[in-house]
Chain A
Amino acid sequence: MQIFKVFMKVLKKRIRFAMLYVGIFLGIAIPMSLNSSNPGSTKEMFVKESKSKIGICIFDEDNTPESREFTSYLAEKYTIKELKNDDEVIMDSLFYIAVDRVININEGFADRLAKGETNGIIDSRHMHESYNTMLLEQDINSYFSSVSAFIAGGEDALSASQSAKEALLEDADVNVISFTGDENEDYPHGFASYYRYMAYILIAAVVGTLCPVLMAMNRKELRFRTNCSSLDSSSYTKQVLLGSAVFVIGVWLVFVIAGMILYGGVYNGRAWLAVLNSFIYAMVAGSITVFLSTFVSNMDIVNFINQVISLGMSFMCGVFVEQELLGAGVIAAARFMPAFWYIKANMMLDGTEAFDSTKLAQYLLIEASFAVVMALLTIVMSKARYNSTALQKKAAVAAVKG
């Protein structure tokens, strides 16, 4: 177990750096998931589930009872946001969909309303041609349509506005049938996003902290010395894998415990399954790292490869952009990546997909198999690249010249 001990020693030397790195990623993970404690999804940005999430900003320059009536109608259904009447602020808010439309009620609104001149009666600014903006437009149009109808029926502008408001605020008869999974109270959507982002965080943190340790151990001089010993090459690799596993578990625990703080206590029920899911994924991340370290020797490159793998895989497998939004070709390719199955399992746990324990077990097994495959590949690669003959070839080139 000498190799294992050495591994731990090499790790100890770098522990401060590892902690800092993990800390930074924790700093990324927490705001990510806090923000999505309104159910996190990119789609949410554009498609708000309930009307009250649609935001409007209203500048009322008419200030008549009629205009106030209109404003109060909108306030009942949507969220009114106050913005500075500054072009840049408005642009930003529209772009980031803090508000979906900015409405200007111009002077003379009440008069025009009384006359039934509803076309272009208010000024509106919006940026995206989204569902939200369409819905708003539709609603505003129906408001004015109803008001003019009431006026045509004999009412004055103000009472017509009030009647219209009353009529429009009546809720329709809506029946919600559930075919898919319910949100589970042990593992709510909002919290589930923390584990969703783990698909990115875990792998980036593990590769970034474990790879340098492994690279240090793979330095030619050290490997030569090891190879001279009576230690079998695959035993060496196995011990390294063991050491890596221990370290990865440590890192994983940090994130699990941080998750508990977000959860508000010890996990319950389904949340434990999510923890299991993340454990398997952490092992996959570790095995990928070990595999990487067999052919990377430069610290600069490690970070680039790390970002390509972690970010690239995350985008393609539905970590930052929902799986349902990704194209068919992307999904097909993503099936070959562990993050894809991790996310599928997570979606099943949080109720986005109907819960099926056999399927869940399948996903977890597929995930775990990535770890096994990577470990095997590592053993093979390690033998090929680091046996003394291979190292000798590299050294011989230099020696000959001397």
Chain B
Amino acid sequence: MFFHDLKYMLISGFRVKSFLFWLMLFPILLGTLFKVAFGNVYENDVLFRSIPTAVVETTSDPVFHQVIDSIEESDEPLLDVEYTDEENAMKLLKEGKVSGIIYVGDKLSLSVTEQKMDQVILKTFVEQYGVNEKIIKETAEKDPSKIQSVVDKLSEDVSACRDIPVTHGDPDIYVQYFYNLIAMVAMYGSVTGLHITVQNQANLSALGARKNCSPTPKSVSMLADLTGSFIMQSACMILCVTFTHFVLKIDFGDRLLLVYAAAILGGILGVSFGFFFGAVNRFSLEAKIGIVMAVSMFSCFLSGLMMGQMKGIIAEHIPWLNKINPATVVADSMFSLNMYSDYSRFISRIITMLVITVVCTAAGIIITRRKKYANL
């Protein structure tokens, strides 16, 4: 009886063209949109580039020139300098072609239009210059013999930070959006789970009534339907991950098979969540679908789908929420595969997913096991 039910669940399931089509198509559409929208934002924005600067010399300062020259010689020059006159400099500043204007006079001064990072760095540079000047002056006053060693020290390249590598993975923060996209597809499996409860309950559909009259026990019927849904949802998840990785070329790290496993388990979680939700209330099918999707969206929002830093904010203020929010757990499991070299965090996420799935499935079955209804 189980396999009979399962067979027909799969047949009818894969034929629900509209739904399946959209469940498979929509992550492809969104994923492509994400990729297009973000493009190479990470490289363009987060990563460092030389700051275009204009220099206007009201008095000549050879020392300054020397400093600039040595800056521009280095591998990753801090500044990209253009010497020019005041008028042209203002024009460049207004058009946004330079981030600031350094005036070389008795002291250095700086003109900027915004107060963003570039300007902050320029400010730091100007300050450092001033500090160095000050140190040399003070030393000259106190102990001129030491000037040379001071100057030597100042011209030395200091590399005070010993960098300890933190991760072997790719910290591109935009990949997070794709993890969340996969989590969203998993959560949308809840609609399939919803349909299962409706189809098996006499008080929710005529089909349910007919099935309840048969000698096939309800629990067998529901388990078969659930299994069928799990299989269908897994197919969607596999497609989603495959498309995202192989077509959109998003890097998920080097443990791709485990990413698939996490995604599939996420899909199963989504289905069981929908199953539980469908069992636990008596709204119409239409309302159930709308609500479960809105709840899924909210879960995805908390996981950072719309605002990337949401997950971080929750991690700071309500960390336990991240550990139980389904979308976060799914996305996080894939994230931890990428960022951490050991498996402990991944395993704990997987266990969480398993627990949620089992609890929802069991609760759903127990609630719908009720054999007789007060009204139909």
Contacts and interface: CB of A to CB of B under 8 A. Distances in A.
Nearest to B163: A124
B362 interface: no
Contact of B159 (A120, A208, A316): A120
A389 to B, nearest CB: 25
Nearest to A138: B124
Interface stretch (B7-15, B106-114, B225-233): B106-114
B154 interface: yes
Interface residues of A, number: 109
Given A135-B124, A173-B110, A175-B110, A24 B298 contact: yes
A178 to B, nearest CB: 7
Nearest to A104: B164
Interface in B275-313: 283, 285-287, 289-291, 293-295, 297-298, 301, 305-313
Contacts of A177: 93, 111-113
Contacts of B94: 179
A176 B149 contact: no
A115 to B, nearest CB: 13
A113 to B, nearest CB: 10
A172 B127 contact: yes
Interface stretch (A219-227, A251-259, A304-312, A369-377): A304-312
B123 A172 contact: yes
Interface string A343-380: 00000000000000000000000000000000000000
Interface stretch (B54-62, B134-142, B196-204, B257-265): B134-142
Contacts of B294: 20-21, 24-25, 208
Nearest to A215: B286
B146 A152 contact: yes
Contact of B18 (A42, A151, A200, A301): A301
A91 B345 CA distance: 12
Given A128-B171, A130-B48, A152-B149, A168 B131 contact: yes
Contacts of A140: 160-161
A134 B26 CA distance: 39
Interface stretch (A232-240, A266-274, A325-333): A325-333
Nearest to B194: A300
B376 interface: no
B312 A118 contact: no
Interface stretch (B34-42, B80-88, B215-223, B239-247): B34-42
Nearest to A312: B33
B37 A35 contact: no
Interface string A94-105: 111110010100
Interface SS of A by simple majority? helix
B343 interface: no
A51 interface: yes
A174 interface: yes
B142 A315 contact: no
A33 to B, nearest CB: 10
Contacts, number: 308
Contacts of B166: 90-91, 94, 125-127
Interface SS of B by simple majority? helix
Interface residues of B, number: 101
A172 B126 contact: yes
B143 A154 contact: yes
Contacts of A176: 111-115
Considering residues B38, B40, B166, B167, which has the most beta carbons from chain A within 10 angstroms of its beta carbon? B166
Contact of A131 (B39, B117, B309): B117
A125 B150 contact: no
A304 B160 contact: no
A320 B306 CA distance: 6
Contacts of B312: 92, 95-98
A199 B314 CA distance: 24
Contacts of B37: 315-316, 321, 326-327, 330
Contacts of B184: 307
A300 to B, nearest CB: 5
B30 interface: yes
A92 B41 contact: no
A345 B59 CA distance: 45
B287 A14 contact: yes
Interface string A12-27: 0010110011001101
B291 A149 contact: no
Given A126-B163, A307-B26, A146 B131 contact: yes
B372 interface: no
A148 interface: yes
Interface of B: 18-19, 22-23, 25-26, 29-30, 33-34, 36-41, 44-48, 78, 93-94, 107-121, 123-124, 126-128, 130-132, 134-135, 138-139, 142-143, 146, 149-150, 152-154, 156, 158-164, 166-167, 171, 173, 184, 188, 191, 283, 285-287, 289-291, 293-295, 297-298, 301, 305-313, 315-316, 339-340, 345
List the 5 closest A-B pairs by CB distance, nearest first. Answer: A96-B312, A120-B162, A124-B161, A173-B109, A304-B22
12 contacts: A45-B308, A91-B166, A130-B47, A153-B135, A153-B138, A153-B146, A167-B135, A170-B131, A308-B29, A312-B29, A325-B41, A330-B37
Interface of A: 14, 16-17, 20-21, 24-25, 27-28, 31-32, 35, 42-43, 45-51, 88, 90-92, 94-98, 101, 103, 116, 118-132, 134-135, 137-146, 148-154, 163-164, 167-168, 170-180, 197, 200, 204, 208-209, 212, 298-301, 303-305, 307-308, 311-312, 314-316, 320-321, 325-327, 329-330
